[in-house]
């Protein structure tokens, strides 16, 4: 994995080194803001071996007795697993013939239409449930879990359902943990010191990922390798480079970061990225606004804005250096489209030149381009990329001066929603809000 930040003046990066040294030290020693939630920093090295083996065993069991896994979760309990599965197994995962179960993500919205589509898709197939929630009281997954638990018990009986419901939750406290203890569900732990958006390499992400047939050992091994690389202070550290470059650009007025990738299977990795950076940095009236595009498709939609719109953007391209696939351009004796000069060239080669041409075009247009190169589209490289982005995000949040590990703003809508729904104790506020809306 390499990071190219040559689009940013070396002097601007150098000027941030003292801050980076402090941020790095705070992150590793657990002395910075929000340090109660920096367990992910050493996670790939200290993971609970027994629990990891249980995750793999549960995945095998689900693969054996289920055609569908329903993953009930929202936010960090949703995006990471979906992102990894779609990137490594393809965005058409559920549609393709394969020997691992379909994976459907539920409890991440309040759409009745969505819920009904999933019910139809599960049909009469055998299913298991992985409910993922620290507290067990978040509305979307809790409401969804009520439904699927009932259906599971109806179909398999109370005892049968016990063997098909897996909970990833707090080690000791919370409504969901209490339920698991009384019902006897197998449980996996969301560590106390790892927040949702940093949890993809805990059982939160690993169980669904393993069910989808991805090698979680490789994923963690890549993460552990990057943990070693990121632990070393200095500008050789790719996380230092990326954190410094994006903050230098932010301070120079580039307030929007567009994450780009040329692989359509990366779309949900970009969603994971947007949560990681947006939720970590978007507070106290500051933060780079994270956006994402999928190239080359979006060169024909958002490409115009990037090339010539307001010059408040910079771009970070995730480049997959050794794209798989050997498809090449077929010949056309009539050369109707005038593209015979491409005949025999592989799509991967054309894609690479599209990246290089776009890089220059956007740079020339005033959009600095950072490039994060990963070796291959595989679990090992993805593990590295995930840890890299996490570590750089921690550094970057400290450079910005915020606590990159809390999310105080997420409560505001929930409180209003509960009040408007007449939650006991919120009646007065509910009336007040309803009156505001009626105006």
Residues between 162 and 181 that touch a second copy (CB under 8 A): 175-176, 178-179
- Asked if 339 contacts 329 with a C-beta cutoff of 8 angstroms, the reply is yes
CB 43 → a second copy: shortest distance, Å?
A: 20
CA atoms within 13 A on the CB side of 304: 2
What is the residue whose two structure tokens read 């009384």? 182
# chain residues binding a second copy, by CB under 8 A: 132
Q: Name the DSSP letter for residue 283.
A: B
- Using CB under 8 A as the binding rule, whether residue 359 contacts a second copy is answered as yes
- Using CB under 8 A as the binding rule, whether residue 154 contacts a second copy is answered as no
- Measured between its terminal Cα atoms, the distance across the chain in Å is 55
- Using CB under 8 A as the binding rule, whether residue 435 contacts a second copy is answered as no
As a whole number of angstroms, the distance between CA 233 and CA 222 comes to 19
Q: Which stretch binds a second copy (CB under 8 A): 7-15, 43-51, 241-249, 354-362?
A: 354-362
Render the burial of 254-278: b for 16+ CB within 10 Å, e for the rest. bebbbbbbbbebbbbbbbbbbbbbb
Q: Indicate the Cα dihedral angle 352, 354, 359, 365, nearest 10°.
A: 180
Site residues (CB under 8 A) for a second copy, limited to 313-332: 313, 323-327, 329-330, 332
Among 121, 172, 232, 252, binds a second copy (CB under 8 A): 121
Would you say 53 or 297 has its CB closer to a second copy? 297
Q: Which stretch binds a second copy (CB under 8 A): 38-46, 48-56, 106-114, 379-387?
A: 106-114
Site residues (CB under 8 A) for a second copy, limited to 30-69: none
Would you say 139 or 221 has its CB closer to a second copy? 139
Render the burial of 143-171: b for 16+ CB within 10 Å, e for the rest. ebbeebbebbbeebeeeebeebbbbbbbe
Q: Which stretch binds a second copy (CB under 8 A): 30-38, 133-141, 225-233, 240-248?
A: 133-141
- Asked if 372 contacts 3 with a C-beta cutoff of 8 angstroms, the reply is yes
Joined together, the tokens standing for residue 368 give 């600095």
Q: Which of 271, 279, 281, 315 is catalytic?
A: 279
The candidate with the shortest Cα–Cα distance to 86, out of 400, 377, 424, 428, is 377
- Using CB under 8 A as the binding rule, whether residue 94 contacts a second copy is answered as yes
- Using CB under 8 A as the binding rule, whether residue 282 contacts a second copy is answered as yes
- Using CB under 8 A as the binding rule, whether residue 253 contacts a second copy is answered as no
Q: Is 235 exposed, middle or buried, given 0-12, 13-18 or 19+ CB atoms closer than 10 A?
A: middle
- Using CB under 8 A as the binding rule, whether residue 79 contacts a second copy is answered as yes
CB 248 → a second copy: shortest distance, Å?
A: 17
Would you say 234 or 365 has its CB closer to a second copy? 365
Q: Which of 308, 414, 423, 427 is catalytic?
A: 414
- Using CB under 8 A as the binding rule, whether residue 7 contacts a second copy is answered as no
The backbone torsions φ and ψ at residue 413, rounded to the nearest 5 degrees and listed phi first, read -70, -35
What is the residue whose two structure tokens read 């009986």? 157
**Is 279 a residue of the active site?**
yes
Among 1, 354, 373, 375, binds a second copy (CB under 8 A): 354
Site residues (CB under 8 A) for a second copy, limited to 361-380: 361-362, 364-365, 377
Would you say 392 or 419 has its CB closer to a second copy? 419
- Using CB under 8 A as the binding rule, whether residue 187 contacts a second copy is answered as no
The backbone torsions φ and ψ at residue 25, rounded to the nearest 5 degrees and listed phi first, read -65, -45
As a whole number of angstroms, the distance between CA 314 and CA 250 comes to 9
CB 52 → a second copy: shortest distance, Å?
A: 26
Q: Which of 236, 300, 411, 428 is catalytic?
A: 300
Would you say 108 or 128 has its CB closer to a second copy? 108
For strand 313-322 and strand 2-4, is the pairing parallel, antiparallel, or unpaired?
A: unpaired
The candidate with the shortest Cα–Cα distance to 129, out of 186, 171, 182, is 186
Residues designated as active site:
279, 300, 414
């Amino acid at each position: 994995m390499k990071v190219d930040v040559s689009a940013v003046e070396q002097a601007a990066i150098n000027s941030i080194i003292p801050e980076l040294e402090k941020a790095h030290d705070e992150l590793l020693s657990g002395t910075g803001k929000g340090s109660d939630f920096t367990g992910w920093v050493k996670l790939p090295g200290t993971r609970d071996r027994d629990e990891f083996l249980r995750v793999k065993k549960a995945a095998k069991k689900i693969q054996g007795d289920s055609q569908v896994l329903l993953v009930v979760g929202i936010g960090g309990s949703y995006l990471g697993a979906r992102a990894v599965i779609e990137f490594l197994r393809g965005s058409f995962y559920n549609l393709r013939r394969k020997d691992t179960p379909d994976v459907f993500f539920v409890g991440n919205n309040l759409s009745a239409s969505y819920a009904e589509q999933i019910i139809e898709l599960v049909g009469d197939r055998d299913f298991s449930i992985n409910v993922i929630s620290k507290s067990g009281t978040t509305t979307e997954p809790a409401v969804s879990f009520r439904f699927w638990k009932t259906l599971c018990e109806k179909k398999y009986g109370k005892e049968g359902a016990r063997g098909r419901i897996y909970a990833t939750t707090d080690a000791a406290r919370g409504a969901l943990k209490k339920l698991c203890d009384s019902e006897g569900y197998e449980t996996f732990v969301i560590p106390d010191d790892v927040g949702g958006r940093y949890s993809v390499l805990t059982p939160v992400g690993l169980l669904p990922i393993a069910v989808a047939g991805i090698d979680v050992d490789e994923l963690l091994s890549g993460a552990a390798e990057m943990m070693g690389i990121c632990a070393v202070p200095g500008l050789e550290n790719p996380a230092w480079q990326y954190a410094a470059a994006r903050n230098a650009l932010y301070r120079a007025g580039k307030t929007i970061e567009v994450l780009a990738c040329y692989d359509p299977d990366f779309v949900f990795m970009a969603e994971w990225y947007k949560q990681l950076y947006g939720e970590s940095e978007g507070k106290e009236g500051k933060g780079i606004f994270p956006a994402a595009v999928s190239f080359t498709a979006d060169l024909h939609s958002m490409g115009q804005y990037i090339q010539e719109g307001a010059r408040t953007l910079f771009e970070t391209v995730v480049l997959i250096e050794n794209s798989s696939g050997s498809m090449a351009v077929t010949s056309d004796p009539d050369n109707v489209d005038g593209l015979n000069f491409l005949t025999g060239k592989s799509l991967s080669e054309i894609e690479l030149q599209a990246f290089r041409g776009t890089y220059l075009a956007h740079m020339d247009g005033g959009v600095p381009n950072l490039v994060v190169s990963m070796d291959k589209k595989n679990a090992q490289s993805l593990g590295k990329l995930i840890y890299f982005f996490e570590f750089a995000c921690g550094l970057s949040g400290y450079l910005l001066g915020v606590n990159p590990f809390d999310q105080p703003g997420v409560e505001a809508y929930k409180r209003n929603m509960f009040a408007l729904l007449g939650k006991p104790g919120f009646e007065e506020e509910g009336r007040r809000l309803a009156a505001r809306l009626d105006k």
